[in-house]
Amino acid sequence: MKLSKIISVTLLFSLLSFAACKKNGDETASYTSHQNAVVEGYVSEYYSEYPGYFESVDFMSVIESENKSESSEKQTSSKNKVSSKDKTSSKISSVSSVKPSSNNSSNKTLSQTQSSASTSKINYDTMKAVWISYIDFADILTNKTESQFKTAFDKAMKNCKDFNINTVVCQVRQFSDAVYPSQYFAWAANVKGIGKNPGYDPLKIMVEIAHKYNLSFQAWINPFRAYLNGDVSKVPDTSIFKKWYNDSSKKGLYVIENSGRWYYNPAEPEVRKLIVNGVKEIIENYDVDGVHLDDYFYPTTDASFDAESYKNYANGQDLASWRRQNVNTLVKEIYNTVKKQNSNILFGISPQGNINNNMDQQYADVKLWGKTAGYVDYICPQIYYNYKSESSPYLTTLNDWKNLITSKNVKLIVGLAPYRAGYAYDMWACTKKDTHTSQTENCGAYGWIVTPAESSDILARQYVDAMNTPNCSGVMLFSYKYVFNIDSSFISSDYTSLAKEQAQAEMQKLKNAMK
């Protein structure tokens, strides 16, 4: 299926339409049929803070490939089938010197999970985590049989363990859907299609396999983002989203359309109750070690988005303060729900790296969360910036977040960007785009390019700088495919011709630094 024209138009539209850029921007979708089954396939646009990063995955092509594999497998005998402290300088001379100070490099386990009913959890003093997004799951989960998924996820967990990663943050709810059987949300499109039951429980399998490798498992959810207009007809009527969509008193109030996608309204108490119940469903039924939210809160600054709710609930507050209060209420409710179930389960949020964007565009009150106990256990800002960035230099931004998080009960985890290794042009990192060129010394736009490629060590240095920062208790890498699937992940026009070679050098040095 050819989507290049759609992708180009969509990307241009998105760049012009959204001032608030995210790690994982909004998605467009394409739906096709295969034989008698309707299969949903997403095309995803990831922006990271800067709208220069584009990535697409057509789940249909994955599913077609897997169907061919299944057909071939049926022709073989069953016995052959797959079974079940602040650093201001970051210059280094060699890989061996890329090490954090010993007082921050503990890999000691805080607690160990002993059984599925145990109240103890696998969590580490120093979190060395990786995000595994629904895009990463295209090669691991999409249209897989149970045995195929177990094999693929086991390999992924072994890769993580070998890389010195101790925590996996797996996206289990991305668009008001779920990769597990839920009484509230439909089956996710990236399993077998929207509402399609695969006949097994991927989340249960993921937790079990992660724990086999002594890896901490955090369930990553997007609370408010729901379906595209084109998806709604595919959503089962039994899901809460569809019930509200079909209810004229709730459509446009509980679920609101914005730029072609539907979102839950954070202002409505019933919406927040749904999100909290969804978290409760996970922590009651699965032995997860943490719950994780990323940077998707309000999708727009437009006052019309929730005008009716504002009229009903604001009580004279200005729009921005009121919206932040709505998000704060949800965050507090999730935190209390998690801790009531098990005080050892972590709850953390990964906001954008830009503090002002969080406060004024996403209405994510990171300043409150960082200074006040009882909202989160950790904040993981997505500091996806290079050292030369003129708008948000890595070290300056790292220091800003260190100063923001003042509560002794809140830890700083730093989000790093393996996907930017060999990035050809970081447009928002340059303040003089009209005059700078690739030959301009220290131009932030070219801050992810290192020559020769094999000498590249940006991520390793960023890891060291993070771990030598007071109150920093770890890092999180975005994302799995860019750490482990280098050959297929650094080939788009976003990257230089030597990006794969640079990424290979980066990941090896980062792995050594994380020992």
Res 392 pLDDT > 80: yes
Name the CA dihedral angle for 276, 282, 288, 293, rounded to a multiple of 10 degrees: -40
How far, in Å, are 66, 128, 157, 300, 463 from residue 161 at the CA level? 27, 10, 6, 39, 18
Q: Which range (30-34, 111-115, 358-362) has the least confidence?
A: 30-34
Where does residue 154 rank: exposed (0-12), middle (13-18), buried (19+ CB within 10 A)?
middle
**In 10 A of CB 406, how many CB atoms?**
12
Which of the four pLDDT bands, split at 50, 70 and 90, describes residue 100? low
Residue % of the chain over a pLDDT of 70: 77
Three-class secondary structure of residue 423 per DSSP? strand
Contacts of residue 452, defined as CB under 8 A and 6 or more positions apart, other chains included, come to none
* Alpha-carbon gap, residue 253 to 310, rounded angstroms: 11
pLDDT of residue 485: 98
- Please state the rounded mean pLDDT for residues 497-504: 98
Tell me what pLDDT residue 101 has.
54
Average pLDDT across the chain, whole number: 83
Q: Is the pLDDT of residue 18 over 80?
A: no
Average pLDDT over residues 146-173: 98
Is 376 in a helix, a strand, or coil? Answer: coil
Q: What is the mean pLDDT of residues 272-300?
A: 97
At position 415, the amino acid (one-letter code) is G
For the ranges 187-196, 429-438, 489-498, which has the lowest average pLDDT?
A: 429-438
Judged against a pLDDT cut of 50, whether residue 70 lies above it is answered with: no
Query: How confident is the model at residue 239, as a pLDDT?
Result: 98
Question: Is the per-residue pLDDT at 459 higher than 70?
Answer: yes
What is residue 64's predicted lDDT score, i.e. its pLDDT?
A: 46
Residues 161-183 have pLDDT tens digits of 999 999 999 999 999 999 999 99
Average pLDDT over residues 443-450: 94
Mean pLDDT, residues 459-484: 98
pLDDT in tens, 50-69: 233 333 344 444 444 444 44
| CA separation for the pair 415, 412 (Å, rounded) | 10
